Amino acid sequence: MNFELTALPLSDINSDLEIVFVINKDDSHHFVQDTLLLKKAGFEAGQDETCLLVGEDRLYVGADTLTSTAIRTAAASAIRALKGTAYKSLKVATYTNKGCSYTLRAMVEGFILGAYSFNTYKSKKKKNPIKHITVSLEEYADFTLEIEKASEAIHKAQIIADATNFTRDIVNTTPDDCYPEVMATIAEEMAQQTGLHCKVLKPKELRKEKMQTLLAVARASRHKPRVIHLSHKPKDAKCVVTLVGKGLTYDSGGLSLKPADFMVTMKSDKSGGSAVIGIMKAVAEMNLPVEVHGFVGAVENMIGGDAYKPDDVLVAKNGKTIEIRNTDAEGRLVLADTLCYAQQEVKADYIFDFATLTGASVVAVGNYTSSVMGNNKEMQALVVKEAHNAGELATALDFNRYLRKTIKSEIADICNISNTRYGGAITAGMFLSEFIDEDHAEKWAHIDIAGPAFVEHIWGENPHGASGAGVRMMVKLIENLAADKSHK
């Protein structure tokens, strides 16, 4: 999908179709001549509601407000409505919130994210027909937007949306086609294309690094584990950010075998690691003046004669012993070692981990929201704020000393699962906190994306399947760190 920005008014642009956003059910600024046709069609201009006037070659879409969130989902709905049509190009005016370019950026993101489809395994592949979009600087409310700012907004939107779709592709790929070695290859190829440095640790190096909990989870799989380290190191970086992702390319539950229904969609257990790869892609392409490191623990959790077992005691990289009471609580074991390795390799100003860690997070906050935890409320608030600014939903879940008692072990330093079914997202986060060193304790936030990472229906700008959760929120956060003058 190509975008062209022009100062020409809409009336002078040749295109197959025009898209018109109707804001807060007010069409006074848009084609009064179509009012009767819209009424006949029953168009009420509700949020994300569309109406295609084929005879006029215009598509109307409703948006409740001019906020980025409303415009983004409306744009996604509009582009989806054109699937199956013969239109190949469209034109659209600029919509800004009192001249702010964020709404333009959100509109472009919405078009790209809404046009996404995963057709790899379809014998007949259908793609959105729109190939070219012309954006006019003609602003619906007569605000003036500088062409340089508009161009920058569109450019950033393309990078971020493309990185999100790149992440979606990795997550949606089946476990037989995307196992740890493949995930490492994807990262290496992306790094080569974007100028990132990529280091991949194989089992021999993992043993040398004493990453025994990660290796234990991987033991029963025919696919050997990998730890991926991507790095973006610009000159005069404002600060250092470390990202860590859970990359379970498939999770059977191990010997604590999942019920059959719960094994379906477990290809999505690599969503955290995939998000880290997608974030690094966007950071590199935007060339942000922040040093960013991405670490991914890529592992497959299977069953077999060599599987790790409930009642085992494993030793993590930082020397802490872990009593295993459930082999399906494996993601936190992979993250424990990967977090330790990441902190050993990089002394960061901020450290964030992403994981589809617990079903308990989905129970707590629903399918569409990420849970944010950590030792520092300011860090939690920072993630929640930038998630909302980027169009993702997130909320903070607080640690407390009473739940910490539930992961104590009588025979080891800590147990890999709580002794209560309640507060499981929080106890998993508190488990991870045991593997954050003193230097990073106040700089760390854990982001459980189990809810939004993979949903089996369309919602907002997101398709059936992988959403790319985490990418937009973290790129937005790193963008703001890059612009923060208080950093060195």
Domain ranges of the chain: 2-141, 162-483
State how far the Cα of 168 lies from the Cα of 177, in Å rounded to an integer: 15
> In the prediction, which pLDDT does 76 show?
98
Cα separation, 69 vs 46, in Å, equals 14
| pLDDT tens digits for range 284-321 | 999 999 999 999 999 999 999 999 999 999 999 999 99
Amino acid identity, position 157: A
pLDDT tens column, 355-379? 999 999 999 999 999 999 999 999 9
Contact (CB, 8 A) for 445 and 380: yes
**Per-residue model confidence (pLDDT) at position 447:** 98
State the CB neighbour count (10 A cutoff) for residue 124.
5
State residue 435's pLDDT score. Answer: 98
Q: What does pTM read for this prediction? A: 0.97
pLDDT (average), residues 39-66: 95
Please determine, for residue 31, whether its predicted confidence score (pLDDT) is greater than 90: no
Q: Among 149, 202, 258, 404, which one carries the catalytic annotation?
A: 258
**Does 126 have pLDDT greater than 90?**
no
Greater confidence, 125 or 186? 186
- pLDDT confidence tier of residue 485, bands split at 50, 70 and 90: low
Q: Does 29 score more than 60 pLDDT?
A: no
Q: What is the pLDDT of residues 376-404, one digit of tens each?
A: 999 999 999 999 999 999 999 999 999 99
332 is catalytic: yes
Average pLDDT over residues 436-456: 98
Please count the CA atoms within 13 angstroms of the CA of 21 that sit on its side-chain side: 33
What token pair was written down for 284?
């590199």
Name the pLDDT band for 15 (thresholds 50, 70, 90): very high
Only one residue has tokens 């493309």, namely 162
Q: How does residue 63 score in pLDDT terms, banded at 50, 70 and 90? A: very high
Instruction: Identify the pLDDT of residue 97.
Output: 83
Residues 137 and 150 sit within 8 Å (Cβ to Cβ): yes
pLDDT of residue 172: 98
Give per-residue pLDDT as tens, 174-211: 999 999 999 999 999 999 999 999 999 999 999 999 99
* Residue 39 clears pLDDT 80, i.e. is over it: yes
Q: Which residues of 447-467 are buried (b: 16+ CB within 10 A; e: fewer)?
A: bbbbbbbbbeeeebbbbebbb
Q: CA Rg, the chain, in Å?
A: 23
- Length of the chain in terms of residues written: 488
Q: Which of 58, 80, 105, 332 is catalytic?
A: 332
Check pLDDT > 70 for residue 30: no
Q: Which CATH architecture has domain 2-141?
A: 3-Layer(aba) Sandwich (3.40)
* 162-483: in CATH 3.40.50.2300: no
Q: What's the pLDDT band for 26 if we cut at 50, 70, 90?
A: confident
pLDDT tens, 107-121? 999 999 999 999 999
Query: Burial code of 300-320, b = ≥16 C-beta within 10 A, e = fewer?
Result: bbbeeeebbeeebebebbbeb
* Statement: residue 486 has pLDDT above 80: no
Does the annotation mark 325 as catalytic? no
Neighbour tally for 70: CB within 10 Å: 23
- Let me know: does 122 contact 141? Beta carbons within 8 Å: no
User: In this prediction, what percent of the chain has a pLDDT beyond 90?
Assistant: 92
CA angle at 170 for the pair 167 and 176, rounded to the nearest 5°: 170
Calculate helix-pair angle for 424-433, 331-345, nearest 10 degrees: 30
